[in-house]
Chains A and B, each alone.
Chain A
Amino acid sequence: MTERPNYDDMVRQALMRGLTQRRVTRRDLFKYAGVGAGSLSLASILAACSVKGAKKTEPTGPTTLPETAGKVDIANWPLYIDKEGKNAAGVVKGGTVADFEKATGIDTRYVETINDNEEFFGTDIRSQLGSDQPTGWDIITMTDWMIAKLIDLGFLEKLHHDKLPNVTANIQDAFVNPWFDPNNEHSFPWAAGLTGIGYDRNKTGRDIDSIEDLFDPAFEGKIGMFSEMRDTYNFIFFKMGIDPVTATEEDVAEATTILEQQRPLVRGYYGNDYTDQLAAGNVWLTMAWSGDLFALQLGQADDQDLRWILPKEGGNRWSDNMAIPILAEHPADAHDWMNFVYDPKIATQITEWVWYESPVKGVQEMIAEDGKDHPNMALLAEDQFVWPSAEVLANTAPYKRLDSAEEAVWQDHFDRVVLG
């Protein structure tokens, strides 16, 4: 049998404790609250949760170059180098990369991983750069406006021009001291090109010559536009008859309305993957970067007739530039690579494959020389879009340089378009 507890006793004891023990006074309460607040107040939690600014106020990393490490990791865009055999991991071996390895003994990992400037920055390198970690890349190849943004954030190493004799000797004058990187302190161009329209003549059934063609309801669901905000807005500015470099917020709002009206016709907003879409026949006409189409033509199917044009309203003029992200692990080897590809012979080898303008002096002449034996190379040497004349360039515009506040406003507008 269990013994029944005596409840009367229990109540009595509780009452006694209440009357006799020291109770927490109001003053104590304030005291304890103060101690607690010091260690775990709402304000301190909020402060701990704030996200530090990514911008670097002082340079990170050494100011002198270390020794060559015998290894280099390079990130570049697809269809941007000659390659004889890309291995299963997408690592390019052969062609220029093999020549570089042979000449320098540097183990080279060259990967065609960049599809879109924002995407690469956002998903591949941003978090490392923001938290002072190496990105895993020694060379990244970014479009001019992204270089400007990376410089503003303090994310790029300063280049050692004395380690780049080929570059300083062979760079074309037009590429020296560009608008996005004064005195080429952080970058040198890999290649330059134009944004125009690529299309399959057999699918469209007619010649394309205007930005208006991207608004033709006959091509509903077969039109591609770019997810690169600046490229796409520039096109609409041309259509509106505005110089992109002077575009205002009102212009952007108007361009956004135009893009929203166009959206039902658009298959997708693409990065460099527009080339796959065009090759697969998913899009018939799309915004396109000049050189890609020449590379695609080499591999086009029998029933395809891929072409590229600069719209009569205008097109975009840009360059992609090699730069070294801060805390890169093999910066000396990265300099060696930059120097190597500015050898006119090597630059010719690359250009004959990629069909984008080379920033290296003498390349056009050397390609013309090869053209005596190879008709394709003769075409390349004379192509008015690979080597844009002053007349062609007059019908092009670069991107507007946006500060971060302006960029945020543009981005909000553009999101309304691409995010449906």
Chain B
Amino acid sequence: MAVVAPTVAQPSAQPPARRSPRVRWIAYLLLAPGLGWLFLFWLWPSIQMFITSLQTGTYAEGYTFTGNVGIYRDVLAAYPEQLFRSLVYALIVTVACLAIGYPLAYAIAMRAGRWKNAILFMVILPFFVSYIIRTLSWKFILADDGIFLGTLKSIGLLPDDAQIVNTTSAVLGGLIYNFLPFMVLPLFVSLDKIDPSLLEAAGDLYSNKRSTFLRVTLPLSLPGLLAGSLLTFIPVAGDFINAELLGNPNTTMLGNVIQVQMLEHNDYPTGAAISFILMAAILIGVFVYAKLLGTEELTG
């Protein structure tokens, strides 16, 4: 924008390349829909949500702004376990999805050959059924007297009080199951675009398979790893469906608290404050993670 004029003219210095105003105008125009979208559907709701969190009142009489900052302290004091649980669950699920998803994505990209598209399709296939229906199905399949446990119990392989549904493992299992594709797909994309000649070159330079993987394949797949982790961690931390359908009173996540406060108690300030705390916690986690992996990898 403003050209800084040096006080002493330097004859040898090239003047900064000046773009024609028209090019700059087009660039802003192209950015406008995206920026408008962000403002309308992210920034403005966030501002409104923040203001809501500082209101006090009741559902019947309405909520008015009182600058009640204390609500953040109250909410943190009331739901620390749920916040902790949401983040820990998200971490466990992300790591588990990575452990399952990386070998899977690697196999699809490097070894699947002509089956590549078919296997990819199978990874996406569950998306053809609604998220809630899929989770609900697990609840029925794994019910205490359902087709799976009931059969094992009646042939005496399991004790009568064995259960899977409504346990922590069921919630984690449901989350891993539901979010695995979000990890596999970005990993696949970055593994698939690795030039095979790079791997051959590593071999020519007497690198064994292990070090080829660690020094060539893995670094090149980092963008996919980062994208996959974020796509898993962020929605899992805010999820409430799995805890609601597959959990018990001791697996409540912060998403469940928000859902109940917003939709059942109509306590908008509390719900908004919790949402903000969750958002802040996720942002901190993501920043730390991105710093560890190196931000330049974000862009691939």
Min Cβ gap B257→A in Å is: 5
Output the nearest chain B residue to A119 by Cβ-Cβ distance: B264
B62:A280 contact, CB within 8 angstroms: no
Q: Does A248 sit within 8 A of B, measured CB to CB? A: no
Residues from 7 to 61 in A contacting B, C-beta threshold 8 Å: 7-8, 10-11, 14, 45-47, 49-55
B256:A153 contact, CB within 8 angstroms: no
Measured in the bound complex, the distance between the Cα atoms of B67 and A50 in whole Å is 12
Measured in the bound complex, the distance between the Cα atoms of B58 and A115 in whole Å is 24
B250:A11 contact, CB within 8 angstroms: no
Q: Does B148 sit within 8 A of A, measured CB to CB? A: no
Min Cβ gap A358→B in Å is: 30
- Cβ contacts under 8 Å, B267 to chain A: 408
Measured in the bound complex, the distance between the Cα atoms of B6 and A221 in whole Å is 77
Q: Mark B234-262, 1 if CB is under 8 A from A, else 0.
A: 00000000000000111110001100100
Measured in the bound complex, the distance between the Cα atoms of B13 and A4 in whole Å is 10
Q: A51-B57, A280-B146 are in contact. Are A263 and B249 (CB under 8 A)?
A: yes
B65:A419 contact, CB within 8 angstroms: no
Q: A54-B59, A152-B60, A266-B248 are in contact. Are A282 and B9 (CB under 8 A)?
A: no
Min Cβ gap A338→B in Å is: 27
Min Cβ gap B168→A in Å is: 11
Output the nearest chain A residue to B79 by Cβ-Cβ distance: A419
Measured in the bound complex, the distance between the Cα atoms of B241 and A13 in whole Å is 66
Residue in A50, A55, A417 whose beta carbon sits within 8 Å of that of B55 in the complex: A50
Q: Does A104 sit within 8 A of B, measured CB to CB? A: no
Measured in the bound complex, the distance between the Cα atoms of B265 and A119 in whole Å is 9
- Cβ contacts under 8 Å, B146 to chain A: 280
Output the nearest chain B residue to A51 by Cβ-Cβ distance: B63
Measured in the bound complex, the distance between the Cα atoms of B266 and A14 in whole Å is 59
- Cβ contacts under 8 Å, B144 to chain A: 280-282
Q: A45-B51, A266-B248, A404-B58 are in contact. Are A419 and B256 (CB under 8 A)?
A: yes
- Cβ contacts under 8 Å, A330 to chain B: none
Measured in the bound complex, the distance between the Cα atoms of B52 and A49 in whole Å is 7
Range, interface on chain A: 35 or more
- Cβ contacts under 8 Å, B145 to chain A: 280-282, 301
Measured in the bound complex, the distance between the Cα atoms of B143 and A153 in whole Å is 41
B7:A46 contact, CB within 8 angstroms: no
A51:B55 contact, CB within 8 angstroms: yes
- Cβ contacts under 8 Å, B163 to chain A: 221, 282
Q: Does B200 sit within 8 A of A, measured CB to CB? A: no
The number of A-B residue pairs with CB atoms under 8 Å apart is: 123
Measured in the bound complex, the distance between the Cα atoms of B64 and A51 in whole Å is 6
Measured in the bound complex, the distance between the Cα atoms of B78 and A417 in whole Å is 11
Q: Does A267 sit within 8 A of B, measured CB to CB? A: yes
Measured in the bound complex, the distance between the Cα atoms of B143 and A2 in whole Å is 79
Min Cβ gap B98→A in Å is: 27
A122:B5 contact, CB within 8 angstroms: no
Q: A10-B5, A49-B48 are in contact. Are A4 and B15 (CB under 8 A)?
A: yes
A51:B52 contact, CB within 8 angstroms: yes
Q: Does A123 sit within 8 A of B, measured CB to CB? A: yes
Min Cβ gap B62→A in Å is: 3
Q: Does B82 sit within 8 A of A, measured CB to CB? A: yes
Min Cβ gap A408→B in Å is: 7
Q: Mark A402-419, 1 if CB is under 8 A from B, else 0.
A: 001100100110011111
Q: Does B204 sit within 8 A of A, measured CB to CB? A: no
Q: Does A186 sit within 8 A of B, measured CB to CB? A: no
A419:B257 contact, CB within 8 angstroms: yes
A54:B62 contact, CB within 8 angstroms: yes
Q: A221-B166, A281-B144 are in contact. Are A269 and B249 (CB under 8 A)?
A: yes
Q: A50-B55, A408-B58 are in contact. Are A419 and B263 (CB under 8 A)?
A: no
Output the nearest chain B residue to A222 by Cβ-Cβ distance: B161
Output the nearest chain B residue to A420 by Cβ-Cβ distance: B252
B65:A49 contact, CB within 8 angstroms: yes
Q: Does B195 sit within 8 A of A, measured CB to CB? A: no
Q: Does A118 sit within 8 A of B, measured CB to CB? A: yes
Q: Does B165 sit within 8 A of A, measured CB to CB? A: yes
Residues from 276 to 299 in A contacting B, C-beta threshold 8 Å: 280-282
A51:B251 contact, CB within 8 angstroms: no
A11:B7 contact, CB within 8 angstroms: yes
Min Cβ gap B87→A in Å is: 15
- Cβ contacts under 8 Å, A118 to chain B: 264-265
Residue in A54, A126, A411, A419 whose beta carbon sits within 8 Å of that of B82 in the complex: A419
Measured in the bound complex, the distance between the Cα atoms of B132 and A384 in whole Å is 41
Q: Mark B134-155, 1 if CB is under 8 A from A, else 0.
A: 0000001001111000100000
- Cβ contacts under 8 Å, B15 to chain A: 2, 4-5
Q: A50-B55, A411-B265, A419-B257 are in contact. Are A263 and B61 (CB under 8 A)?
A: no
Q: A45-B51, A51-B268 are in contact. Are A268 and B9 (CB under 8 A)?
A: no
- Cβ contacts under 8 Å, A266 to chain B: 248-249
Measured in the bound complex, the distance between the Cα atoms of B55 and A54 in whole Å is 15
B9:A8 contact, CB within 8 angstroms: yes
Q: Does A375 sit within 8 A of B, measured CB to CB? A: no
B257:A281 contact, CB within 8 angstroms: no
- Cβ contacts under 8 Å, A45 to chain B: 51
Measured in the bound complex, the distance between the Cα atoms of B248 and A123 in whole Å is 22
Q: A7-B5, A282-B163, A282-B166 are in contact. Are A50 and B62 (CB under 8 A)?
A: yes
- Cβ contacts under 8 Å, B248 to chain A: 221, 266-268
Measured in the bound complex, the distance between the Cα atoms of B256 and A221 in whole Å is 20
Q: Does A182 sit within 8 A of B, measured CB to CB? A: no
A416:B62 contact, CB within 8 angstroms: no
B257:A46 contact, CB within 8 angstroms: no
Residue in B62, B166, B252, B257 whose beta carbon sits within 8 Å of that of A52 in the complex: B62
Measured in the bound complex, the distance between the Cα atoms of B14 and A250 in whole Å is 80
Measured in the bound complex, the distance between the Cα atoms of B61 and A37 in whole Å is 28
Residue in B82, B165, B250 whose beta carbon sits within 8 Å of that of A282 in the complex: B165
7 residue pairs A–B, Cβ–Cβ below 8 Å: A11-B7, A49-B65, A263-B249, A267-B248, A280-B140, A282-B165, A405-B58
Closest 4 CB pairs of A and B: A53-B62, A281-B145, A420-B252, A51-B63
Contacts A122-B265, A416-B78 supplied; 6 other A-B pairs, CB < 8 Å:
A118-B265, A263-B249, A282-B145, A419-B252, A419-B257, A420-B85
Q: CB within 8 Å of A: which residues of B?
A: 5-7, 9, 15, 48, 51-52, 55, 57-65, 78-79, 81-82, 85, 140, 143-146, 150, 160-161, 163, 165-166, 248-252, 256-257, 260, 263-268
